Amino acid sequence: MGNLLTRSSVILGVFSNRAFAVFTYGNSVSLIGLWVQRLAVGWLAWDMTQSGFWLGAVAFADLFPVILVGPFAGVFADRLNQQRIIIICRVLSAIQAVVLAALVYFGIATIEVVFALTLFGGTVTGIQQPARLAIVSSLVRPEHLGSAVAINSVVFNLARFVGPAIAGVLITSAGTFVAFALAAVGHVISAATFWRVRLAVEERAPRHGMMADLAEGARYAFSHAAIGPMLMLAVIGSLLARPIFELLPGFADAVFGRGAGGLAILTSAVGIGAIVAGLWLAQRGGVRGLTAITLGSFAVIGVLSTAFALTGWFWLGALLMAAAGGAMVINGTGTQTLIQTAVARHMRGRVLGIWGIIFRGGPAIGAFVMGWLAEYWGFGPPVALGGVLCLVAAMVMYPRRGRLAQVLEGESATAGNVAE
């Protein structure tokens, strides 16, 4: 009982700061709206075209822009007011959702217009992401680093569970118009809530010119003895494993024959597994041993992705998606925690900008390629091949866990970090 209370106190300690609590509430509302919208866009694209190519293309439009804007967004996060960046981006996301709702309501939506609006939304999200990740360093104490990152992951994945569940009901009962309208309301509430938070003014990174700052951030990230290898492994996972989530509409309908309801179940299963994993990470309250856990979870992702791609049984697929959601959260949250522990404070925005490029841009490319291959081979073979390659990468990297842990788990004292 004492151990349970101690672990619970770690999570409660993070929420003792009102600014973090308000931020988390607003972030939760916005993310639920985002997941409602993402599921509605994916289903709308599939329903309009019945094409794996267009399904992958829309996912590409949502995720790829971060590759172009991510480096600049990281510099902005180091230079500018992160709170204002987040609020402006959420207002723009609300506008995008309103336009989608209007197009569907009046029956004038086309796949090309949906693609273009998704591209706009992906750009806005790419600009917001480094600021959203970096701002938590202004909200929590250094000792709450791991728990804060994990709590944010729980919030993200709770939204991944709640959002699709709401979207599934709305799409089947009222149509995608209502789903888009609800998403717009969520973004507005989030922006209004976060506007009320008052943050202390932090010292910003010195300015050396945009391109010089970009080059400095990339050079620092990829030449770092431990951050560099972790980012490279994240690239592999984002290209070869995470696209499975973007292709779930195709699996739900073309592979399992379950339609929008099946999509909601699969996506919610991912969210359930992710929430459990996130809560487990949040109560750990430290980074010791996290390197081995993070690398091990990458191997598990490879196995689960391959198994899901090869099964034709829906409920087994749902169980595999729940486990995969948990493994993805352990790996992604672990990687982000370790990077933020080791990164120098004045480099945080730029390094997280690179992380955002990998986290969103990799699945964009992977989903586009896998969606195209699905036109010829079906959805299973491309996803299975990606899982096998992830497993191989994990087997190569895992023996290096000791050397990486020495840097990632022991450098925080010298890195000047107060991180998410």
Please work out, in degrees rounded to the nearest 5, the angle formed at the alpha carbon of residue 389 by the alpha carbons of 280 and 226: 60
Whether 169 contacts 185, CB under 8 Å: no
Which residue is it, tokens 């490879």? 302
* Residues 173-201: tens digit of each pLDDT: 777 888 899 889 988 988 888 887 776 55
Predicted pLDDT of residue 249: 84
Asked whether residue 10 is assigned to any structural domain, the reply reads no
CATH number at residue 43: 1.20.1250.20
Examine the pLDDT at 395 and tell me if it is beyond 90.
yes
Q: Which domain holds residue 143?
A: 15-197+223-413
Q: What is the dihedral of CA 321, 60, 159, 257, to 10 degrees?
A: -40
Give the pLDDT band (50/70/90) at residue 298: very high
Predicted pLDDT of residue 118: 93
Asked whether residue 94 is assigned to any structural domain, the reply reads yes
Examine the pLDDT at 291 and tell me if it is beyond 80.
yes
* Sequence letter at residue 92: L
Mean pLDDT of 105-114: 89
Examine the pLDDT at 393 and tell me if it is beyond 60.
yes
Examine the pLDDT at 208 and tell me if it is beyond 70.
no
Cα 328 from Cα 242, distance rounded (Å) = 8
Tell whether the torsion through CA atoms of 366, 367, 370 and 376 is positive or negative: negative
Cα 65 from Cα 332, distance rounded (Å) = 20
Predicted pLDDT of residue 299: 94
Whether 149 contacts 348, CB under 8 Å: no
Examine the pLDDT at 116 and tell me if it is beyond 80.
yes
Whether 360 contacts 216, CB under 8 Å: no
Examine the pLDDT at 358 and tell me if it is beyond 70.
yes
Instruction: Report percent pLDDT > 70 for the chain.
Output: 85
Cα 150 from Cα 205, distance rounded (Å) = 26
- Residue among 187, 182, 184, 167 nearest 44 (CA): 167
CB proximity list for 184: less than 8 A, separation 6 or greater: 33, 94, 95, 97, 98, 101
Domain count, the chain: 1
Examine the pLDDT at 203 and tell me if it is beyond 60.
no
Asked whether residue 419 is assigned to any structural domain, the reply reads no
- Residue among 41, 39, 28, 35 nearest 189 (CA): 28
* Residues 134-178: tens digit of each pLDDT: 777 667 666 666 667 667 767 776 776 677 778 878 887 777 888
Cα 81 from Cα 162, distance rounded (Å) = 31
Predicted pLDDT of residue 209: 65
Mean pLDDT of 246-268: 85
Asked whether residue 148 is assigned to any structural domain, the reply reads yes
Asked whether residue 52 is assigned to any structural domain, the reply reads yes
Give the pLDDT band (50/70/90) at residue 2: very low
3-7, 13-17, 190-194 — most confident range: 190-194
- Residue among 159, 209, 210, 194 nearest 82 (CA): 194
Give the pLDDT band (50/70/90) at residue 218: confident
* Sequence letter at residue 10: V
Whether 248 contacts 371, CB under 8 Å: no
Please give the mean pLDDT across all residues of the chain. Answer: 81
Asked whether residue 129 is assigned to any structural domain, the reply reads yes
Give the pLDDT band (50/70/90) at residue 327: very high
Asked whether residue 230 is assigned to any structural domain, the reply reads yes
Examine the pLDDT at 239 and tell me if it is beyond 60.
yes
Mean pLDDT of 98-110: 90
418: which 2 tokens? Answer: 């107060």
Q: Kindly report the three-state secondary structure assignment for every residue of the chain.
A: CHHHHHHHHHHHHHCCCHHHHHHHHHHHHHHHHHHHHHHHHHHHHHHHHCCHHHHHHHHHHHHCHHHHHHHHHHHHHHHCCHHHHHHHHHHHHHHHHHHHHHHHHCCCCCHHHHHHHHHHHHHHHHHHHHHHHHHHHHCCCHHHHHHHHHHHHHHHHHHHHHHHHHHHHHHHHCCHHHHHHHHHHHHHHHHHHHHCCCCCCCCCCCCCCHHHHHHHHHHHHHHCCCHHHHHHHHHHHHHHCCHHHHCHHHHHHHHCCCHHHHHHHHHHHHHHHHHHHHHHHHHHCCCCCHHHHHHHHHHHHHHHHHHHHHCCCHHHHHHHHHHHHHHHHHHHHHHHHHHHHHCCHHHHHHHHHHHHHHHHHHHHHHHHHHHHHHHHHCCHHHHHHHHHHHHHHHHHHHHHHHHHHHHHCCCHHHHCCCCC
Examine the pLDDT at 37 and tell me if it is beyond 60.
yes
238: which 2 tokens? Answer: 């984002």
Mean pLDDT of 44-52: 84
Residue 241 φ/ψ, nearest 5 degrees = -115, -50
Examine the pLDDT at 11 and tell me if it is beyond 70.
no
Predicted pLDDT of residue 12: 64
Examine the pLDDT at 360 and tell me if it is beyond 80.
no
Lowest-confidence region among 108-117, 277-286, 401-410: 277-286
Whether 305 contacts 390, CB under 8 Å: yes
Give the pLDDT band (50/70/90) at residue 385: very high
Count of alpha carbons within 13 angstroms of residue 162, beta-carbon side? 17
Q: Is 31 exposed, middle or buried (0-12, 13-18, 19+ CB in 10 A)?
A: buried
Asked whether residue 166 is assigned to any structural domain, the reply reads yes
Lowest-confidence region among 96-105, 296-305, 359-368: 359-368
Give the pLDDT band (50/70/90) at residue 95: very high
